[in-house]
Structure 1
Amino acid sequence: MTKEIGKKIIQKFDKNFSEDNKHVAVQRAVVKNGILASSENQQAYVDNTPVFSVDLDTGKVANQKQSGRCWMFAALNTFRHRIADNFRLKDFELSQNYTFFWDKFEKANYFYENILKTAKDSLTSRKVAFLLATPQQDGGQWDMLVALIQKYGIVPKAVMPESQSSSASSELNNFLNKKLRKDAVVLRKLVAENASESEIATEKEKMLEGIYSILATALGTPPATFDFEYRDEDKNYHLEKDLTPQTFYDKFVGVDLNEYVSIINAPTADKPYNQLYTVEMLGNVVGGKEVRHLNVEMSLFKKLAIAQMQAGESVWFGCDVGQYSNRKDGIMALDMYSVDETFDVDFKMTKAERLDYGESLMTHAMVLTGVDLVEGQSTKWKVENSWGEKVGSKGYFIMSDEWMDEYTYQIVVRKEFLTDELKQALAGNVTVLEPWDPMGALA
């Protein structure tokens, strides 16, 4: 039996398709309107009305524009909610450009260190190829944001506003990665030539200065000190003088970030539940907080998110946002599009199969700000996105509970909500996953 496709089988397929009236009718609709528009299910709108029994007031949404900073926006939004409540600040935002600057700077150093660690490995080794494929990018994880804040603090958006390259980051990423790959050539040669540690350190410092110069030119210079003046919702004027990014965080946010933990749901055979995981080569700040995940069953995953919202606090979460998601109307539901029926093809896979076979991983981070509970069970979730007010309901999305089960992978909650078993696991051994593990995906 030959492996090539013969003419007879194509003729057979064509005849079967052409003689099936359903296929021909659907063909007309899809050719004219496209796949998703022709597959849209109106019942999804009926089942996902924007009413929630637990509904946090979190204000106007932000807009990450043409950048991959969702993880950063989502985390800063959770802090913004706290500031808005405690200091009566309406439509206030923290500077995403400030954290963006330091993330890029630290990622460059993280890349250099990993290049040096693998300098004696072949260029064809999977780890070296992994590093060089994308030396740095916009995406990140919650613990990476924690590492940045613990080292650099945060500032109001008014102190370091958006720049062209923070709002549309592709050009900056292109040239940063050109430089990082060129620097990798130099560092690997130095190691091959048995250069001393001091020689390598001197060369790396020059490289980092070049990175700083690129970032300062494209994004602006991050402030070391600043004054912060504002009017609260009662029109009272306030002036805070001589703040640093660290003192601003302490005064206006004041949360111990070590009290938060990343919870994942990864039902794959290689990740038993109630155990702690990290991912090799995943991070940004050398010497900073390490990325760690506790893997739990989905029922517990949702209970933890609900508990934190019932306590009045929003929840950072990561998901595969492009799956069965209507971006315009802001609905994420498994029955949003009946593509299986449109093509008469079964696309169904289990969550574990999708992770194992590369069909799904975390692509986007947002904030849970509400949930609808019926007899104690969640039915749908309110989501604050960071794509501006022109999508969804003024920027807010609705996520069905079934969609949450299948395509949500990570939440961040306070440790106080963990069960005793999970608290013990948090203090236990850590399993190190390969750099390309799907749980190492950057939102």
Structure 2
Amino acid sequence: MAREITPGMAESFSRQIREVPQSKVIRDAVMKNGIKAATINNDSFVSMNHVFSHEIETGKVTNQKQSGRCWMFAALNTFTHKLNAQFKLKDFELSQNYTFFWDKFEKANYFLESIIETADEPLEGRLVSWLLATPQQDGGQWDMLVSLIQKYGAVPKQVMPETYNSSNSRELNPLLNAKLREDAMVLRKMYAEGRSEEDLRQAKTGMLAEIYKLLVFTLGEPPKTFDFEFRDTDKVFHREQGITPQQFFQKYVGFALDDYVSIINAPTKDKPFGKTYTVQYLGNVIGGKPIKYLNVDMETFKNLAIRQLKDNRSVWFGCDVAESSDRNEGIMDTALYDVEIAFGFPFGMSKAERLDYKDSVMTHAMVLTGVNLVDGRPNRWKVENSWGEKVGKNGYFVMSDAWMDEYTYQIVVDKKYLPDELQKAWEQEPIVLKPWDPMGSLAWMK
């Protein structure tokens, strides 16, 4: 067979299409309307009903706008579900901008420390090239949020509201990354000149001062203390003066963050179930909570989520949101588009193969707030997103159980829901994965 594409080969392919009468109709529909609109499966709209046998009362959805803070919004939303119920608040929000500021600042330090640690690695090597590709970004992981909260606490949104740059980070990120790459260059040159580690860290302190200034000018300066004032749904007014962000989180949110564990479903050969994993150079706070996952089969994965939902507690989860989903209708379903029928050939990779061949990774974090059980088994899930009320059903999505199987990779649950064998498995020393492993992906989707 020829290595190159020949005229006869292309003509043969063309003839195969012309021999199928409906090809012209399909071609015209796809060209006119686009792939998704032309292949939409209306049966999916019927089956993806926004009614659930088990449902947590939440409220108005949040809006991350033009930023990749989904992981942060999702985590803070799980906190406010508890806070709203306990203190009789309606649509209260924690400040995402406060957490965003400290995440940016800590990621800058994490990057610069990584540059110092790898100063003897070749500039053109894979590791340093990977670090320099994205010094920092909006995306993150559950454990990264925990590190921020444990160090800095939280504040109400009214205390540190959104700015243009927190809601639209496309101007901030390139500027910050350019500064960090310049700082990396300076640190590596200092190392090459034989300067001491103490000299490098002293230089880093000056760099952090500049980054702090950049963040204050774009996001505002985080408060050290503040007054918390609110009127509850019984119309009773409350005021607490001079509270710190750490005191506020402990008193009003009160999540026992160390009790929550990250469970993943990564059915690839290199990651046996029942083992724990971490990822090299993945994090934000130096000395904070390290990234740690426990890999389990999908049946166990879903049962853990259901146990927490039945206890009236929402579930943070990470997924590949762009696959087989409709943003406007708020549907995530593997049967949503009849692409294979339209084009006449399969798209047949398994979940493990999609991970291995870079076809799918976790891109977005949201919150499970309900599930529909039929004879004890789920067929669809209720999802709280952070894209505002103009998408889905007032911002809420519905996810088929088949979609959960194929495109959901991570949940966070209280470890008390883990059976004894998984409790023991969690205590294992984690296997260290390379920085570019699929499980090192961050939730960032806007």
Shorter-chain TM-score bucket reads over 0.9
User: Partner of 1:352 in structure 2?
Assistant: 352
Q: Take 1:376 and 1:198, find their aligned partners in 2: how far apart are those partners? A: 60
- Residue 16 of structure 1 deviates from its aligned partner by 2.1
User: Partner of 1:268 in structure 2?
Assistant: 268
- Residue 198 of structure 1 deviates from its aligned partner by 2.1
- 1:200-349 to 2 correspondences below 5 Å: 200-349=200-349
User: Partner of 2:9 in structure 1?
Assistant: 9
User: Partner of 1:53 in structure 2?
Assistant: 53
- Residue 345 of structure 1 deviates from its aligned partner by 2.1
Q: Take 1:168 and 1:339, find their aligned partners in 2: how far apart are those partners? A: 34
Q: Take 1:270 and 1:369, find their aligned partners in 2: how far apart are those partners? A: 32
- Residue 211 of structure 1 deviates from its aligned partner by 0.7
User: Partner of 1:384 in structure 2?
Assistant: 384
Which deviates the most, 59-68 or 340-349?
340-349
User: Partner of 1:439 in structure 2?
Assistant: 439
Q: Take 1:350 and 1:198, find their aligned partners in 2: how far apart are those partners? A: 50
User: Partner of 2:134 in structure 1?
Assistant: 134
User: Partner of 1:160 in structure 2?
Assistant: 160
Q: Take 1:167 and 1:148, find their aligned partners in 2: how far apart are those partners? A: 19
User: Partner of 1:85 in structure 2?
Assistant: 85
Alignment pair present for 1:418 and 2:418: yes
Q: List structure 1 runs of 4+ shifted beyond 2 angstroms.
A: none
TM-score calculated relative to the size of structure 2: 0.98
Q: Take 1:345 and 1:240, find their aligned partners in 2: how far apart are those partners? A: 64
Q: Take 1:215 and 1:288, find their aligned partners in 2: how far apart are those partners? A: 21
> For residue 408 of structure 1, what is the amino acid of its counterpart?
T
Number of residue-to-residue matches in the alignment: 443
What SS class does the counterpart of residue 106 from structure 2 fall into?
A: helix
Q: Take 1:300 and 1:393, find their aligned partners in 2: how far apart are those partners? A: 29
Q: Take 1:29 and 1:45, find their aligned partners in 2: how far apart are those partners? A: 20
Q: Confirm or deny: 8 A CA contact 2:55 2:369 kept in the other structure.
A: yes
- Residue 169 of structure 1 deviates from its aligned partner by 0.3
> For residue 94 of structure 1, what is the amino acid of its counterpart?
L
Q: Take 1:240 and 1:396, find their aligned partners in 2: how far apart are those partners? A: 33
* Superimposed CA distance per residue, residues 8-28 of structure 1 (whole angstroms, 9 cap, x where no aligned partner): 111221222223212111001
- Residue 197 of structure 1 deviates from its aligned partner by 2.2
Q: Take 1:399 and 1:175, find their aligned partners in 2: how far apart are those partners? A: 37
Q: Quote the RMSD (CA, aligned, Å).
A: 0.8
Could you tell me which runs of 5 or more consecutive residues in structure 2 were left unpaired when the two chains were aligned. none
* Superimposed CA distance per residue, residues 239-283 of structure 1 (whole angstroms, 9 cap, x where no aligned partner): 011011000001111111000000000000000001110000000
> For residue 398 of structure 1, what is the amino acid of its counterpart?
V
What SS class does the counterpart of residue 304 from structure 1 fall into?
A: helix
Q: Take 1:345 and 1:325, find their aligned partners in 2: how far apart are those partners? A: 20
* Superimposed CA distance per residue, residues 323-366 of structure 1 (whole angstroms, 9 cap, x where no aligned partner): 00011000000000111111112112100000000000100000
Q: Take 1:344 and 1:272, find their aligned partners in 2: how far apart are those partners? A: 35
What SS class does the counterpart of residue 171 from structure 2 fall into?
A: helix
* Superimposed CA distance per residue, residues 80-115 of structure 1 (whole angstroms, 9 cap, x where no aligned partner): 101100001101100000000000000000001111
Could you tell me which runs of 5 or more consecutive residues in structure 1 were left unpaired when the two chains were aligned. none
Q: Confirm or deny: 8 A CA contact 2:116 2:200 kept in the other structure.
A: no
- Residue 425 of structure 1 deviates from its aligned partner by 1.1
Q: Confirm or deny: 8 A CA contact 2:143 2:291 kept in the other structure.
A: yes
Q: Take 1:87 and 1:113, find their aligned partners in 2: how far apart are those partners? A: 41
Q: Take 1:266 and 1:228, find their aligned partners in 2: how far apart are those partners? A: 43
Q: Take 2:277 and 2:156, find their aligned partners in 1: how far apart are those partners? A: 34
Q: Take 1:277 and 1:3, find their aligned partners in 2: how far apart are those partners? A: 43
What SS class does the counterpart of residue 143 from structure 1 fall into?
A: helix
Q: Take 1:234 and 1:362, find their aligned partners in 2: how far apart are those partners? A: 41
Which deviates the most, 299-308 or 338-347?
338-347
Which deviates the most, 422-431 or 98-107?
422-431
> For residue 201 of structure 1, what is the amino acid of its counterpart?
R
Q: Take 2:410 and 2:71, find their aligned partners in 1: how far apart are those partners? A: 11
Q: Take 2:342 and 2:26, find their aligned partners in 1: how far apart are those partners? A: 7
User: Partner of 1:116 in structure 2?
Assistant: 116
Which deviates the most, 189-198 or 79-88?
189-198
User: Partner of 2:145 in structure 1?
Assistant: 145
Q: Take 1:49 and 1:162, find their aligned partners in 2: how far apart are those partners? A: 34
Which deviates the most, 193-202 or 255-264?
193-202
User: Partner of 1:23 in structure 2?
Assistant: 23
Q: Take 2:162 and 2:271, find their aligned partners in 1: how far apart are those partners? A: 40
Q: Take 2:77 and 2:183, find their aligned partners in 1: how far apart are those partners? A: 35
What SS class does the counterpart of residue 3 from structure 1 fall into?
A: coil
- 1:394-413 to 2 correspondences below 5 Å: 394-413=394-413
Q: Confirm or deny: 8 A CA contact 2:144 2:284 kept in the other structure.
A: yes
TM-score calculated relative to the size of structure 1: 0.99
What SS class does the counterpart of residue 21 from structure 1 fall into?
A: coil
Q: Take 2:196 and 2:360, find their aligned partners in 1: how far apart are those partners? A: 44
> For residue 96 of structure 1, what is the amino acid of its counterpart?
Q
- Residue 429 of structure 1 deviates from its aligned partner by 2.0
* Superimposed CA distance per residue, residues 65-84 of structure 1 (whole angstroms, 9 cap, x where no aligned partner): 00000000000000010110
